[in-house]
A = this chain, B = another copy of it.
Amino acid sequence: MVRVTVWNEFRHEKTNKAVAATYPSGMHEAIAAHLRRSGDLQVRTATLDEREHGLSARAVNETDVLVWWGHVAHDDVSDEVVARVVERVWAGMGFVCLHSGHFSKPFKRLMGTSCDLKWREADDREILWVTRPGHPILAGVEDHFVLDREEMYGEYFDVPEPQETLLISSFTGGEVFRSGMTWTRGAGKVFYFRPGHETFPTYHDANVLKVIENGVRWAAPTGAVEPVKFGKREKGWLDRRSEI
C-alpha cells in the first residue's frame, strides 16, 4: 500500500470562479479522486491554508509519495515545512511536481537550479510526445497525446540534466518543452510533469491522470523510508575485521 499525499496551494479555486467551476473541490481532489480508484494507493490531500500546510511532521513521515501543485503562493510555504519535505525525499519519499510547482520551494531546493522558463497564457494546443517508450510512467500512453488548451511553457527550462526525458511538448506557438523528466535525490525519486494550468480542465484528462498515477507508483519507495547513516567511522573496514 503506497501512502500518497496530494498537496495543493488551493487558492485559485477560492478566488477565481472559472477555476472553481472546473475544480469545485480543488485540483487536489480531482487528482485524489482518480488515485483513490486504485486499490493499492492510500490517498489523502493537504492544502496551504491548513495548519502546517497539512504537512505536519507526522503527516510527512506517513507519506510515501507527495504530489505538489502550487503557483501564486510559493513564498507562503514555511521554510520549516520545506526542509521537512526535502529531507523526507532524501530518505526515500517520492516527489511528483506538477506544472507551476516548478517554482515551488521544495522543487527548487531539490533541483539546485533556478527552475525558470518561458510562458504564455494563450490557449495553446499542446502535443506531448513520448521520448522513452516502455518507461513505467508512460504505461498505457500512445506515442503522443494532445491537450486542446493549455498554458505554454517554453525552453530553456532551467533544471539539471534529467536522468530520463519521458515527454516533450510542442505548442501552437512553435515552442517546445521537456514535459516529463525524472531525477534521483538521495534515496528519493523526483518526477516533474508539466500540464495543469488552473483555468483548464487538464486534471480531468484521462492521459494526464494516467501519467500522474503511473508517476506516483514509479516514485514510491521500495523499502522503508529512513535516513541513510552517514558520519564518522572510527575504524576502517580492514581494521574492524581484525576484531572479529
Q: A residues engaging B (CB < 8 A)? A: 87, 90, 92, 109-114, 116-120, 122, 124, 127, 129-136, 139-140, 143-144, 146, 152, 154-158, 160-161, 163-165, 168-176, 178, 183-188, 221-223, 228-239
Residue of B nearest to A106 (CB): B112
Residue of B nearest to A86 (CB): B112
Contact of A232 with B119 in the complex, beta carbons under 8 Å: yes
Complex contacts, A238 vs chain B, CB 8 Å: 172-174
Contact of A155 with B134 in the complex, beta carbons under 8 Å: no
How many copies of this protein are present in the complex?
Answer: 4
* Distance of A145 from chain B, by nearest CB (Å): 11
Would you mind naming 11 contact pairs between A and B with Cβ atoms under 8 Å apart? A92-B134, A114-B230, A127-B175, A132-B156, A135-B187, A139-B223, A160-B183, A168-B168, A173-B235, A173-B237, A176-B176
Contact of A178 with B131 in the complex, beta carbons under 8 Å: yes
Contact of A120 with B236 in the complex, beta carbons under 8 Å: yes
Contact of A169 with B173 in the complex, beta carbons under 8 Å: no
Contact of A223 with B134 in the complex, beta carbons under 8 Å: yes
Complex contacts, A109 vs chain B, CB 8 Å: 112
Tell me, in angstroms, the Cα distance from A186 to B112 when the chains sit together: 9
Apart from A134-B223, A174-B237, 5 more pairs, CB < 8 Å: A120-B232, A133-B156, A146-B237, A161-B184, A170-B175
Choice from B111, B174, B223 contacting A170 with Cβ under 8 Å: B174
Choice from B130, B163, B222 contacting A155 with Cβ under 8 Å: B130
| A160-B160, A170-B170 known; A185+B155 contact, CB < 8 A | no
